[in-house]
Structure formats: C-alpha cells, structure tokens
C-alpha cells in the first residue's frame, strides 16, 4: 500500500524551478521552505540562496505554478520573471539583419537571372553564322523575358530615377533607367511595329540583350557593394546593450527588480556579484571589486568600499553591495560616451559627399551629350537619320552607364577587406581604408593594447630566511580561495613554477586589503602595506625595495614579514616589433594612458616610445581631446585602443583601430578591428589599405578614362573620319568588358602578402 | 553604524534596511533586519529571539 502511494506520487509529480527575489540570509531560505512545505501538494521544496532559486517537487493534481508562487509570496518574497533574452532591441536587430539579408538575396537573384537572360539572348543573336531564326521571331520570343528583366529586376532603377526626377535630380539610377529604357523601348517598337520602321529603313535588330545585361551587371555591382558595406550604425546599439535592463531597488517592502528607467536619483540599489551596475552612484554598504574595463580600459578590477563611486555598466566582480543612485538616464557616464560616439560618427562621411558631387555632375552631362548626339545626327547625319540618331544616343547612354565606376570601389574594397579578414584585420568600410593610407600618426593606448592588460608577477623577493619556493607555496595556498585577479595571478605564477600545492585550513578575504589564511598551522597575511601594518607586522626591511611600476603585495607569516611580491601589467611580445615597423613606415607613434607617468615611461622604454611621445595621466574622457590636439597640429591620426573608454577617441581619430581583446563596442566604433591580440596587425593594415586604395585609384582612372574615350566614339565623333560607330549592343559588350577588367584588377589584390 | 539582525545575526546597515522598511520596534528599541524573512519571523514572535538559548541561523 505504501509502495503504491510512493509510486503514484512519483508518477504524477512534477518539478518546477523558480527565481526568488529578495532573499538575504539563511533565515529567508528557511522561511520560504517552511511555507512551501506547508502547502498542500508540495512534496519537497529546496531553496538555494546562492542561485536564488526555489526548486519544488509537487503533485500537479493538488497544486499548480500559481499556487506555488502564491505560497512564496505569502512568505514575503517575490518570484522573478525568468531571465529572457533582452527584449525588443534584439528582436529589432534581428529584423533589421533579416531585411538586409533579404535585400542582398534579391540583388543577387536579380543579377543572376538578368545576366543569364541577357547572355542567352546575346548568344542567339550573335550565334556563329548569324541568328538561327528570323529576327522578327526572335524579337517576339525575347519580349517576355526582356520585359520581366526591365520592370521586375530593373524596377528599383526606374523607381529611383523617377523619385530623383520629381526632385529635379539626376543620379546613377537616372542613367541606368534612361539607357535601358531607351534600348528596351526602341526594341519594343521594332518588335511590335516592324513594318512601320522598315518603311523608314530601320532593320530588325533589337537591344533587349543590352538592356538585360546592363541591369544584371549593375545589380551585381550593387550586391557586391551591399556585401562590402559595414555596419556603421551598430556601435551605439552595442554600447547601449551594456546597460542592464533592470535594477534591484530597495524600496518599502524589500528588494524589487524594476526596469532601469524607473530608478530615480536617491534610490538604494543592490548589486549582486556578477551583476552589471545599473546606474552611476555611491557605494553605501558592503564592499566589492568592480570590473570597470569596459569604461576605463584598465583590466584590474577596482576595489570599492563605502563612499566610493561606482559606474553604471561596469561589472560587480566579487561581493554584494548597496549603492545610492546619483546619476541616471542621460547623465550616466555610459550615456555620455554614447553621445560622444554619436557626435564623432555623425561628423564624418567625406567620401560619400565627393562621390555624390561627381555623380551630380556626371549624369546630367551624359544626358546632355546623348541629347546633343541625337540632335547632331538628325541635323548633320546621313540617312537613315532616325536610326543613326537613336542608336548613337542609346550607345552614349549605355556606354556611359557607370558600371565600371560603380564596381571600381566596391570590388577593390571587397577584395581588400576580405584579404584583411584572412589575416585578422577587420575593416569596417571604404572610408576606413581611405583614411588608413593617409595617416601620419598612430596613438596607441597602453593597457590592453601595448600591454596584456592583466597582472603578472614581475618581482619575488623572499625575506627573513624564507626562500622563493617557500614564499610562493605559502602565498599560493593563502590566495587559492580568493577570486581576486591579483590573487589569480599569484596562484598562476606559483602553478607555472611547479610549486607544490598546499591547502589553507582557514581563509578570510578582507576587501580591498588582502587575505588572512591558516597555512601549515601558521597565520599567513598577504595584502597591502596598510593591511599588514594594522596587523602589527614590521615592514622596515621592505622599505628600500623599488617595485617600479608594479603593485606590491606584502606577505607575513605569524607576524613576521617573509617577502614582497610585485604584480604588474606586462608588454605583449609583438608590441615592440609593431612599434618599430610603424616608425619605419614613417609614422609618428604615440602612447596614451590614464596611468602614472612613471609606469607609462617604463612601458614606453620597453617598446621604443620616448617620453616626449607619451601622454600619461589622461582621463578616459580626455583621450578624444588629446587626439583632437594632435589633429589640430596637422597630424592625420590613427588611434589604437581596446575598451569602450577608447570609443570616443577611436571615433575622434581619423582612423580608429581596436584590438580584439576589447568589448565589441569598441570594435564597432572603430574603423579597423584587429581580431588578434597583438599590435602586428596595425602596420599590416596600413600597408593593405595603401594597396587597396592604389587599386581603387587605378579602377576609377580606368573607368573614367574609358568613359572619356568611348563616349565621343559612341556619339559618332569618329564616324566622319574613320567611319567608326558603336551600336548599342557593342557598347554594352564594351561596357561589360570594362567592368570585367575593373573586377580583374581588384582581384589582383588577392596576391597581397600580409606577412 | 552597523546594527545586528537579531534573527540571523548578520550585520545590517540601518540606512539600507530603513529604505526597505526592514525594521521593527520592540520594547522601545528599533531593530533592523537583513531581509523580509527575518522581519516577518521577528514580528511573529519577537520574544523568541531574546531567549538566552537562541542561536542566530548565520
């Protein structure tokens, strides 16, 4: 009987795990478990303070989720909503991305179908030995596919041209639309009214193929362009993602998780280990180490005690604390950085303007030339005048179709950026490439860029008869329980040295000061000078030791100082060589840091940057201003940095280069991102950009030169002297060849050596 | 500055506790609590926590 009952309970039991808000101590756990266990239908209830979850096994016939939640609420706590993917913004991003992908697919499909149809038509019309069927039949067969290409795949050009025309503007689309419509329209008349035109001496040749191939090639160019385009607008979004969505505000009735925009100045907010600090404020209770690397770039978590300032978006690395909100919304440091990035980004798009100006001049000129060609042939040309006038005018429009010009830049950028990506150099867009080849100065952030950005043991000085192995053994044992980064560096160092591991029997961390542990039955203290002095340890023998740029950790055993260990950030292996390569490339190399002058100079001397080129003690917000100062002196500046703190400086610089170790915000705020951890990519990026821009200039020179040469020929200027004239199909063919040569030239960039 | 939660024995910052109304008066004294559970337990039977044999849970 009892067995049957148990079986039936387990058969019908269900389990539920719920997040519980507001628990602070073991009493809370007891209280909730007590309430849950009293509820009908609950078999077992386990509440975990650390994970803040209640796991309940229950009989669904007697109680459901609502009942369990009610029971937890009756105990005086709240059930949180399950952590879900950030709402809204991410969905919007996904929709955005899906739209872009659909657009790219549409362009590529259109290009392939249009080119396929065009090539097939051309193949039939230019078949060896002449067209295999009568032209009139061929024209009728072509009519439907040509119409589809012209008005379905070519629709975007017609719409854009029409929209431009309404505002009295002519652009690239106008040329494409006019040229293809002229070719298509003429062919349509020939096809539908062959007798009418025969009467005026016009043959049965049509130009459906030209129209299709032109549309196909230009769609292909647009597709390449869409692919090559970077995500310029993503930076601000990525920055804002750092802001947590909610905050645990302490209000009457306990701790409540509220949306971040409901936090007001003066609110007390609890921040748990691992949480992001929601707003800027002052720590009023508890202590912790906070990872501020995303704002300051400095990788060492900063110790925070009562009265210290904590900054929104930084990560609480160790203890729980309560802060008073002081700056919210737009006033937070994070929001100010966002504004800085936006402003800096909004102020630069010079290439686009230049391109628009050229187009604005080029397109009307071509239309005017086509019109003049038509009039000229009508007035001066031989019979059949209409044919000559029409075909020449169409030839002008088509040969001037800025295909090669449209392809010149995107293909080179695609190959150049692709080549860069192969070697870990991500280039955001063409603007970045253009700026990279013009820079005259490089500003390198120190922490995380030149240096590793994480502490390592740089000095071990045993004292009072202790040897190095013994000192490290004791320190590793004492620090093993701590999650502080300095402690991790100490343990890592000891482990790497093969120091045998011993366990500490008791362990206590004193936030911001050090640890106290029992090792081998002795009391070991590892920490700051103040920590040891307060414990009565005499530090006299350590006074004469110069730790240089390192942070010292003092070690005492049973009240006697037994050693001193220096921890410091170290230079990455490739930094010195990269600085040398940049200097040999004729660039002025600077270092910028928020660190003390002495630390900065010490690092500078290791990589070959003299003190006169070191900008030390620069606050994160002032880095952009320093870059601006260099720009005011006439330098074209590349800024290389990692954290978000560098984002304004990266945006202010003519070229922002971020190193992959940084947050992805800096990555998007920057023009170039180095995936690798070292600076070696910077000189390579400069060389790659020089090669790519050289290719673009060749391409543009070719495309413009080709137009300058062939437009007069298409217009018939050579007809009187050499009898030379281009018909529209030949013009389209020549134009396609021109595009191919531009693409081929771009592909040569593949041979670029990154090493 | 710090007060002691009579239920669990944790140190409590009175400012933080006050913000959440985590306090109770008993025999003319104000007691502060770390959380709701302790306050509710205290309010249900305050005398229990002043018995000599009472051991705070933490």
Give the length of chain A: 755
Query: CB contact, 8 Å: A263 with chain B?
Result: no
Contacts of B11 in chain A (CB under 8 A): none
CB A59, CB A15: distance < 8 Å: no
Burial class (CB in 10 A: 0-12, 13-18, 19+), B6: buried
Taking CA atoms, what residue in B is nearest to A28? Answer: B37
pLDDT at res. A677: 67
- Min Cα distance B27 → chain A (Å) is 23
Residue in this structure with the two tokens 């009265």, named with its chain if needed: A307
Phi–psi pair at A568, nearest 5 degrees: -150, 160
Task: Report the distance separating Cα A700 and Cα A360, nearest Å.
Answer: 16
pTM: 0.53
Taking CA atoms, what residue in B is nearest to A250? Answer: B20
In 3D space, the residue among A646, A256, A645, A511 whose CA is nearest the CA of residue A637 turns out to be A646
Averages of pLDDT over each 10 residues, chain A, 755 residues? 38 76 75 86 81 83 87 82 44 63 88 90 80 80 90 89 77 77 85 72 73 82 60 48 84 81 89 88 89 61 83 85 88 69 42 55 83 89 76 79 66 72 68 83 88 80 79 80 73 75 75 79 83 79 74 83 84 88 92 84 89 86 88 92 74 83 48 74 88 84 80 82 70 70 80 71
Task: Report the distance separating Cα A612 and Cα A398, nearest Å.
Answer: 58
Instruction: Please give the angle made by the CA atoms of A398, A400 and A402, to the nearest 5 degrees.
Output: 105
Nearest by CB to B37, from A31, A253, A284: name it.
A31
Contacts of A32 in chain B (CB under 8 A): 37
pLDDT at res. A93: 54
**Quick one: angle between helices A468-479 and A485-496, nearest 10?**
140
Burial class (CB in 10 A: 0-12, 13-18, 19+), A563: buried
Per-window interface: A 301-360 vs B, CB < 8 A: 322
Task: Report the distance separating Cα A179 and Cα A635, nearest Å.
Answer: 45
pLDDT at res. A466: 77
CB B35, CB A25: distance < 8 Å: yes
ipTM for the complex?
0.72
- Give alpha helix (H) positions in A39-88: 65-74
Nearest by CB to B21, from A25, A26, A252: name it.
A252
pLDDT at res. A20: 84
CA distances from A84 to A80, A272, A352, A469 (A): 11, 18, 40, 49
Instruction: Please give the angle made by the CA atoms of A88, A92 and A98, to the nearest 5 degrees.
Output: 145
Query: Annotated catalytic sites of A, by residue?
Result: 445
pLDDT at res. A636: 92
pLDDT at res. A638: 93
Q: Which segments within A292-429 are labelled E, that is strand?
A: 302-304, 309-310, 315-316, 321-327, 425-427
A295: alpha, beta or left? (left if phi > 0; alpha if psi -120 to 50):
alpha
DSSP for A119-154 reads: HHHHHHHT-TTS-SS-HHHHHHHHHHHHHHIIIIIT
Taking CA atoms, what residue in A is nearest to B58? Answer: A26
Query: CB contact, 8 Å: B36 with chain A?
Result: yes
CB A121, CB A142: distance < 8 Å: yes
Average pLDDT of the residues in B21-30: 86
For A81, which DSSP code? P
């Amino acid at each position: 009987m009892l067995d049957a009952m148990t079986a039936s309970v387990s058969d019908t039991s269900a389990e539920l795990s719920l997040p519980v808000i507001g628990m602070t101590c073991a009493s809370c756990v007891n209280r909730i478990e007590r309430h849950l266990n009293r509820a009908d239908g609950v078999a077992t209830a386990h509440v975990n303070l650390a994970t803040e979850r209640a796991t309940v096994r229950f009989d669904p016939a007697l109680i459901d989720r609502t009942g369990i939640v009610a029971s937890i609420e009756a105990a005086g706590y709240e059930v949180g909503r399950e952590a879900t993917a950030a709402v809204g913004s991410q969905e919007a991003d996904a929709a955005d991305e899906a739209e872009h992908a659909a657009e790219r697919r549409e362009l590529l499909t259109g290009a392939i179908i249009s080119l396929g149809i065009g090539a097939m038509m051309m193949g039939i019309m230019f078949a060896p030995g002449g067209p295999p069927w009568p032209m009139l039949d061929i024209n009728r067969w072509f009519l439907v596919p040509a119409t589809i290409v012209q008005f379905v795949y070519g629709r975007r050009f017609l719409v854009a041209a029409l929209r431009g025309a309404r505002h009295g503007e002519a652009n690239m689309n106008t040329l494409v639309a006019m040229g293809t419509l002229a070719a298509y329209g003429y062919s349509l008349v020939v096809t539908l009214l062959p007798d009418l035109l025969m009467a005026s001496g016009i043959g049965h040749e049509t130009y459906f193929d030209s129209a299709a191939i032109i549309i196909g090639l230009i769609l292909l160019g647009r597709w390449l362009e869409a692919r090559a385009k970077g995500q310029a607008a993503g930076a601000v979004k990525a920055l804002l993602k750092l802001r947590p969505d909610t905050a645990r505000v302490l209000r009457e009735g306990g701790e409540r998780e509220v949306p971040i925009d409901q936090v007001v100045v003066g609110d007390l907010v609890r921040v748990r280990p691992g949480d992001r600090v929601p707003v800027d404020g002052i720590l009023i209770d508890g202590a912790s180490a906070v990872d501020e690397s995303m704002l300051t770039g400095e990788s060492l978590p900063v110790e925070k005690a009562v009265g210290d300032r904590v900054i929104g978006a930084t990560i609480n690395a160790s203890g729980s604390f309560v802060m008073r909100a002081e700056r919210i919304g737009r006033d937070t440091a994070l929001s100010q950085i966002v504004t800085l990035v936006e402003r800096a980004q909004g102020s630069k798009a010079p290439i686009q303007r230049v391109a628009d100006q050229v187009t604005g001049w080029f397109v009307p000129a071509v239309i005017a030339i086509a019109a003049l060609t038509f009039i000229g042939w009508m007035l001066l040309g031989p019979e059949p005048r209409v044919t000559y006038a029409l075909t020449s005018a169409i030839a002008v429009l088509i040969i001037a179709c800025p295909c090669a010009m449209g392809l010149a830049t995107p293909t080179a950028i695609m190959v150049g950026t692709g080549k860069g990506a192969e070697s870990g150099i991500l280039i955001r867009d063409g603007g970045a490439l253009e700026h990279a080849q013009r820079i005259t100065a490089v500003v390198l952030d120190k922490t995380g860029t030149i240096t590793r950005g994480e502490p390592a043991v740089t000095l071990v000085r045993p004292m009072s008869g202790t040897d190095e192995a013994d000192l490290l053994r004791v320190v590793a044992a004492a620090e093993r329980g701590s999650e502080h980064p300095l402690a991790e560096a100490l343990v890592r160092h000891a482990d790497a040295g093969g120091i045998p591991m011993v366990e500490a029997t008791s362990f206590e961390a004193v936030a911001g000061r050090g640890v106290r542990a029992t090792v081998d039955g002795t009391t070991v203290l590892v920490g700051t000078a103040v920590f040891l002095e307060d414990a009565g340890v005499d530090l006299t023998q350590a006074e004469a030791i110069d730790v240089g740029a390192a942070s010292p950790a003092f070690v005492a055993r049973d009240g006697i100082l037994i050693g001193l260990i220096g921890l410091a950030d170290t230079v990455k292996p490739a930094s010195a060589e990269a600085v040398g390569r940049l200097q040999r490339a004729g660039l002025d190399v600077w270092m910028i840091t928020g660190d003390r002058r002495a630390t900065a100079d010490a690092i500078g001397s290791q990589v070959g940057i003299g003190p006169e080129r070191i900008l030390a003690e620069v606050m994160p917000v002032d880095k952009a201003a320093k870059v601006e100062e260099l720009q005011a002196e006439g330098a074209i500046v590349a800024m290389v940095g990692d954290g978000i703190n560098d984002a304004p400086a990266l945006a202010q610089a003519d070229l922002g280069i971020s190193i992959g170790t940084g947050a992805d915000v800096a990555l998007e705020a920057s023009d170039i991102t180095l995936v690798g951890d070292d600076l070696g990519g910077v000189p390579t990026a400069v060389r790659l950009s020089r090669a790519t821009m050289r290719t673009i200039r060749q391409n543009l020179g070719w495309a413009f030169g080709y137009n300058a040469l062939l437009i007069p020929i298409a217009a018939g200027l050579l007809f009187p002297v050499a009898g030379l004239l281009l018909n529209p199909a030949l013009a389209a063919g020549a134009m396609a060849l021109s595009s191919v040569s531009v693409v081929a030239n771009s592909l040569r960039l593949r041979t670029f050596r990154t090493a | 500055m710090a007060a002691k939660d009579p239920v669990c024995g944790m140190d409590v910052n009175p400012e933080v506790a006050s913000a959440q109304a985590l306090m109770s008066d008993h025999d003319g004294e104000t007691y502060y609590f770390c959380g709701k559970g302790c306050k509710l337990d205290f309010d249900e039977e305050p005398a229990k926590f002043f018995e000599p044999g009472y051991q705070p849970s933490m």
